Amino acid sequence: MRGDTKPDVCVIGLGYIGLPTAAIIARAGCPVLGVDVSERVVETINRGEIHIEEVDLDGLVQAVVQRGLLRASTEISPADVFVIAVPTPFAKDGNHTPDTSYVMAAAEKVASVLKKGDTVILESTSPVGTTEAMRDAIAAARPDLAMPGLTDGQPDVSLAYCPERVLPGKILEELTHNDRSIGGITPRCARKALAFYKRFVKGECVTTDARSAEMTKLVENAFRDVNIAFANELSMIADRQGLDVWEVIRLANRHPRVNILTPGPGVGGHCIAVDPWFIVHGAPEEAKIIRQARETNDAKMHHVLARAKALVEVNPGAKIACLGLAFKANIDDFRESPARYVAASLAREFGERVQVVEPYAGGLPKEFEGTGAELVDIDTALEECGVLIPLVDHDVFKVIPPEERANKAVYDTRGIWPDVA
């Protein structure tokens, strides 16, 4: 690959990060093969359709598939650049141990078609050392190729770690405009990966080593988790002391160097509630605040449930409206959602007294089956329910005026209605 020839790219893993990334690389004019283990995902993409919800992604995928720049397959093929974007969940040991087996399986696939001059980039959020472990796995499978960091001479291939840092709902915009950290196994590897990202990233691309880039990604999400834990801890202190936490935060945030985040029913999603554990796993003795933040944010969910139950019990017979199931505002993602946990627990306990309002859901998730709880629209809930529990700060809930909430018992877990203490 010399001069300005567009490289052939292979993106492995076509989920929330892999598919938008593949589409953006294709838009930049590089022929992209997307590889996924799911036949259904591959067929959907090859029809020019998508299997996930993300703003503007449908139009982009349709366009690049029609132009012949993006194609999907369950089988890997040779390419110039390989981008790995597969999940890194917890192992099933109950100890929050990172499971990098999907990354290693992807690396083995890549090894089977790798040739001299290729670049391999890991994007999956990973514990420190994963890119080196991937390099070692490829080296074992392909002793014919000189690997970076393992040869005194010029390596045959380049390996780098480059995490995404995009926000669901703004993925296409943030993939293009956010700055990126690019960590090479060697500085030369970083430069090779940098030249690739420059093709489609408008933000600044900063090079470093692979281990620092791995840690940077984990640190970003741990930083946010710790800050949310501070807000959630404050809200539990305020509850004990009979204070209005929203008022305290509003006032404290008038200080020019204070910016307290917003308490809520806990931290959901698949990033902030997961990644800090990767740091804890790597340095359990040292990562004390990071571990505590995780525990505090998880505890907040149980605190909210206990307060919600207490409010229901002092309003016997009243119907209960749980407002929202998503893990955060204005999205249709219900995975790992504290709101969903609280609403389902209330449904199990109070049955058909519970009504759920979630404008982003077509039906209730399976754990509500047999509870008697119903999915209703906001007008029905406001007419029929005596207890209102906002669990998600969707815009449609924020604009409900005080007069429509008058005479209701309210537990505002997100602080969306400033007139409610």
Catalytic residues, which ones? 217, 271
Nearer to ligand SAJ, 193 or 272 (CB): 272
Helix (H, G, I), strand (E, B) or coil at 193: helix
Tell me the C-alpha to C-alpha distance, in Å, between residue 387 and each of 189, 227, 229, 373, 411. Answer: 58, 30, 27, 14, 8
- Cβ count near 255 (within 10 Å): 9
Q: Which residues bind ligand SAJ (CB under 6 A)?
A: 125, 164-168, 220-221, 224, 228, 261-262, 264, 267-269, 271-272, 327-328
DSSP run (H or E) holding 387? strand 385-390
- Output the CA torsion sign for 283, 286, 290, 296: positive
Q: Phi and psi for 34 in degrees, rounded to 5?
A: -95, 130
Nearer to ligand SAJ, 141 or 219 (CB): 219
**Inter-helix orientation angle 275-282/210-241, to 10°:** 110
180 Cα distance to chain centroid: 17
Nearer to ligand SAJ, 125 or 126 (CB): 125
Nearer to ligand SAJ, 185 or 218 (CB): 218
Q: How far is the CB of 125 from ligand SAJ (least distance, A)?
A: 6
8 A C-beta contact, residue 126 and residue 98: yes
Nearer to ligand SAJ, 17 or 388 (CB): 17
8 A C-beta contact, residue 181 and residue 206: yes
8 A C-beta contact, residue 107 and residue 88: no
Q: How far is the CB of 385 from ligand SAJ (least distance, A)?
A: 23
Nearer to ligand SAJ, 155 or 163 (CB): 163
Q: How far is the CB of 245 from ligand SAJ (least distance, A)?
A: 12
Nearer to ligand SAJ, 278 or 350 (CB): 278
Alpha helix segments (H runs only) across 83-170: 101-113, 130-141
Q: How far is the CB of 270 from ligand SAJ (least distance, A)?
A: 7
Q: How far is the CB of 324 from ligand SAJ (least distance, A)?
A: 10
Alpha helix segments (H runs only) across 199-337: 210-241, 245-252, 275-282, 288-313
Q: How far is the CB of 165 from ligand SAJ (least distance, A)?
A: 4
Angle, CA of 313, 316 and 319, to the nearest 5°: 100
Tell me the C-alpha to C-alpha distance, in Å, between residue 42 and each of 51, 88, 112, 141. Answer: 10, 21, 21, 27
C-alpha span between 30 and 5 (Å, rounded): 9
8 A C-beta contact, residue 213 and residue 125: no
How is residue 331 written in tokens? 């999205």
C-alpha span between 85 and 17 (Å, rounded): 7
Q: How far is the CB of 222 from ligand SAJ (least distance, A)?
A: 9
Nearer to ligand SAJ, 135 or 217 (CB): 217
Q: How far is the CB of 91 from ligand SAJ (least distance, A)?
A: 19
C-alpha span between 65 and 163 (Å, rounded): 25
How is residue 229 written in tokens? 């834990």
